[in-house]
Chains A and B, each alone.
Chain A
Amino acid sequence: MNCKKSEKHIPLLAGNELSATKAAKVRAHLEKCEACLREANEIEGALKAAKTLARLEGAADWSESEWRHLLRSIAATKIEKKSVWAGLSLKPALAGSLALILIIAGAFLFLRKSPTQLNTRATLQVPSQNMVKPDQQNGKQDGQPITIISKETGLKIIWFYNKNFNGEGYGK
């Protein structure tokens, strides 16, 4: 163990809050490092001093009249009925995390659903009765129309393709 790690553990060593393994490692380091040993002794001394001060301070207490008055106030208070939510109180951090998870899950479901909805929002009509067929104007029946109408915007797209088109000359 080095000094940096040891410094982190020394305050907890003073109160016996380290695991046996960690405490042994810190003590082994203290045997080798004078600066860390001094720090450990100072923290231990300060902790004892604070406890001494607290002990010497003398316990605060109520006067008898104040205590009686408090008991009378308590007697005048009603005991609340057990809350339905008792025991269900959440830590703010936990409640926040749950809310965030719900928001993310909701957003994910919404976005996942949207592309499907977009596909069903357009209708396909093949062929249409009232459609103008360019090939009919020329007396031919080779043009095949497909109409796509958007349910959301009402946009109508009519797509004609020539069923005799074999791709020859395409790209020339």
Chain B
Amino acid sequence: MNEREKTLVERVLSGDLSAFEPLITPYRKPLLGLAYRIARNSEDAKEVAQETFLRAFKYLKNFNVEKSFKSWIYQILVHAARNYRNKQVKYETLMMSEPVKETAVAGGDDPERRHDDEEIRSRLMDCLDVLTPREKEVFLLRDIEEMNIQETAGILRCSAISVRVHLSAARKKIKERIKDRYPEYLGREP
């Protein structure tokens, strides 16, 4: 854990609640982005991210300052997303309805940019759709958020071997989907 975050955590725990905002601001966009990719819907993503920040504040006393705050808060997010997904599945089964997909999060007021963003987002979501929930979590954390295997395993509370197995399967499935539907992206430089 970096010194800045450690100091901020200690300040919050000693009663200076204003220190919480600078502590979570660096995670404002990344957590919402990850929540969106897991939940596939901006309203749900905001709810999951909000729940994550609230829980992080509520249970900050349980956080071990010697460990990574980033891993801890991502762990909360993954857990919150799983809970939310389970609730949604129950609700959808009850209502016999299709899951709600796609509403814009970013793009601002520019309609052209917004359209492009939505197009790209729907393609990425389409690729992620072939993955199982666990493969999706592993792929997003390791390949999109660029965390290492150990961090990913820590966040998902599983072994590094399990991460490698799911990552391997996820990459094969993503390759098949991109090759079938979006071959124009193959060979592009990131």
A interface, CB within 8 angstroms of B: 8, 11-12, 14-15, 17, 42-43, 45-62, 66-67, 70-71, 73-75, 77-83, 86-87, 91
Contact = CB atoms under 8 A, between A and B. Distances in A.
Contacts of B175: 42-43, 45-47
Interface string B155-190: 001000000100111011011001100100111111
Interface residues of B, number: 57
Contact of A60 (B45, B64, B113): B45
A49 B64 contact: no
A50 B127 contact: yes
Contacts of A73: 50, 54
A54 B124 contact: yes
25 contacts: A11-B167, A12-B168, A15-B143, A17-B167, A42-B186, A43-B172, A46-B175, A46-B178, A47-B174, A50-B127, A50-B139, A52-B190, A53-B120, A53-B124, A57-B106, A57-B124, A59-B29, A61-B28, A62-B32, A70-B53, A73-B54, A74-B20, A75-B17, A77-B57, A80-B62
Given A11-B168, A42-B175, A80 B59 contact: yes
Q: Top 9 closest A-B pairs, CB basis? A: A60-B105, A49-B185, A46-B175, A11-B171, A58-B106, A11-B168, A45-B186, A82-B61, A51-B190
B48 to A, nearest CB: 12
